[in-house]
Structure 1
Amino acid sequence: MLTWKNIMDYTQNGTPNPSNRIEKSNEEWKSILTPQQYTITRLKGTERPFSGEHCSSFSDGKYNCTCCNTPLFDTAIKFESNSGWPSFTQPIQENAVKYHKDTSHGMIRVEILCNTCDAHLGHVFPDGPPPSGLRYCVNSISLQLEEI
């Protein structure tokens, strides 16, 4: 199980390598994503709180990256954080998510990205429920649910 200490280590020393990599030009991403998906995932945008389709949905399945379909989170680790965005306590695999220190907007946060294609997902915070204490706060538009 990942902890905040692991996350801090990854922001300083790098995330474990992904199982595979997908790289496309901005033009290629624009041709396969909607304008809103492109803005959130490739330009590091943020959707309005409580506006995303996955915010209050708890259907069984896996949440995959909108851009490359890599499994990122499982519904078994999703929880209601009342933050306005889907929240998870852990990624589906240790190397599914990449971590970057984010100093934008006058604060220090940890940005999370798909480790396969570098799609912006959201941020992770150390204020989640036990046992990990982590809250992966993810833009709904960055995810697609593969229901079981």
Structure 2
Amino acid sequence: MTFCSRDSKEVYRDHFVPGTYCCSQCGYELFSSRQKFEHNTPWPAFSETIHKDSVTKHKEFGCFNAFKVKCGKCGNPLGHEFLKDGPDGKSRF
């Protein structure tokens, strides 16, 4: 799962400090830094969420291989999941 910033100023792509990534709106735990992996796009990428309900995914209108991803608690938009973008070429969840 990769994520893109809404304003194209992504600061977490190369950020690998141990910790937890949380929703900027409500503080809900989303991803562990242990599930982060290097990716050849300008966005940070994760293979798993912390909680089963950390995020929700909604099919992207007009795009057959992408989902809009939102915080599972407050619905804050986080970015997109692109199919087959995991570290082994497969979508994770």
TM-score for the superposition, normalised by structure 2: 0.82
**Which has the larger Rg?**
1
Contact 1:129–1:135 (8 Å) recurs in 2: no
Give 2:73's match in structure 1, choosing from 116, 124, 139.
Answer: 116
**Superposition CA RMSD, Å:** 2.1
- The SS at the match of 2:34 is helix
Gaps of 5+ in 1: 1-44, 137-148
Q: Following TM superposition, where does structure 1 have runs of at least 4 consecutive aligned residues deviating by more than 3 angstroms?
A: none
Gaps of 5+ in 2: none
Tell me how many residue pairs correspond in the alignment. Answer: 87
Distance 1:93 1:72, change over 3 A: same
Contact 1:62–1:74 (8 Å) recurs in 2: yes
Contact 1:96–1:116 (8 Å) recurs in 2: yes
Aligned to 1:100: 58
Identity of aligned residues (%): 32
Higher helix content, 1 or 2: 1
TM-score for the superposition, normalised by structure 1: 0.53
Aligned to 1:40: none
Give 2:47's match in structure 1, choosing from 61, 66, 89.
Answer: 89
Q: 1:55: how far off?
A: 1.2
Q: 1:135: how far off?
A: 6.6
Q: 1:47: how far off?
A: 3.0
Q: 1:82: how far off?
A: 1.8
Cα distance in 2 for residues equivalent to 1:89 and 1:123: 13
Pairing 1:47–2:7 present: yes
